[in-house]
């Protein structure tokens, strides 16, 4: 298991981590897939198009529209943030990507995005090669 660290800047923010994941996988040592896992409860990970930065903003806005601010009763130390937790469960804390010749077998338009739902914060991502 290898660890990536990152810092987010906004409350809801998609941050592309494709290259960081690729680096964390070297050497792949014959692995068949890479598990990208987020050990947080108000963040997740997704795969989507990385060519147009407007799309990341559209996904951020959509998550805030599907789960509205104000939903729920849960509070963390910093105040009420149930929507951040709910958005994290909808997106999922993990994604598993096949490898081909030791590299992520992503589709032509695909990139891997860390999904911050309660930033800004210091965050971690675990990358685990699987056989």
Which of 16, 18, 48, 121 is close enough to bind a second copy by CB under 8 A?
Answer: 48
Which of 6, 35, 64, 121 is close enough to bind a second copy by CB under 8 A?
Answer: 35
From the number of C-beta atoms within 10 Å of its C-beta (0-12, 13-18, 19+), residue 63 rates as buried
Interface with a second copy (CB under 8 A), residue total: 57
Phi–psi pair at 89, nearest 5 degrees: -65, -35
Helix (H) / strand (E) containing 128: strand 122-130
Which of 40, 114, 117, 119 is close enough to bind a second copy by CB under 8 A?
Answer: 40
Which of 5, 78, 100, 122 is close enough to bind a second copy by CB under 8 A?
Answer: 100
Strand order in the sheet with 13-16: 13-16, 110-116, 43-49
d(CA 53, CA 65): 19
Assess 61 for contact with a second copy (CB under 8 A): yes
Which of 70, 73, 78, 122 is close enough to bind a second copy by CB under 8 A?
Answer: 73
d(CA 107, CA 93): 21
The piece of 5-13, 20-28, 57-65 that touches a second copy (CB under 8 A) is 57-65
Structure tokens given for 69: 């601010």
Assess 18 for contact with a second copy (CB under 8 A): no
Positions that interact with a second copy (CB under 8 A)? 1, 32-33, 35, 37-41, 46-49, 52, 54-55, 57-59, 61-62, 65-67, 71-75, 82, 85-86, 88-100, 105-110, 124, 126, 128-131
């Amino acid at each position: 298991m290898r660890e990536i660290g990152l810092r987010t800047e906004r409350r809801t923010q998609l941050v592309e981590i494709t290259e960081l994941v690729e680096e964390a996988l070297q050497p792949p040592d014959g692995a068949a897939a890479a598990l990208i896992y987020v050990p947080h409860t108000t963040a997740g990970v997704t795969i989507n198009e990385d060519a147009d930065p407007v799309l990341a903003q559209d996904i951020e806005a959509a998550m805030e529209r599907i789960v509205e601010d104000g939903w729920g009763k849960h509070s963390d130390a910093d105040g009420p943030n149930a929507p951040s937790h709910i958005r994290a469960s909808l997106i999922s804390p993990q994604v598993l990507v096949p490898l081909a010749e030791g590299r992520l077998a992503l589709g032509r338009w695909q990139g891997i995005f860390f999904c911050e739902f309660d930033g800004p914060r210091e965050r971690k991502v675990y990358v685990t090669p699987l056989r």
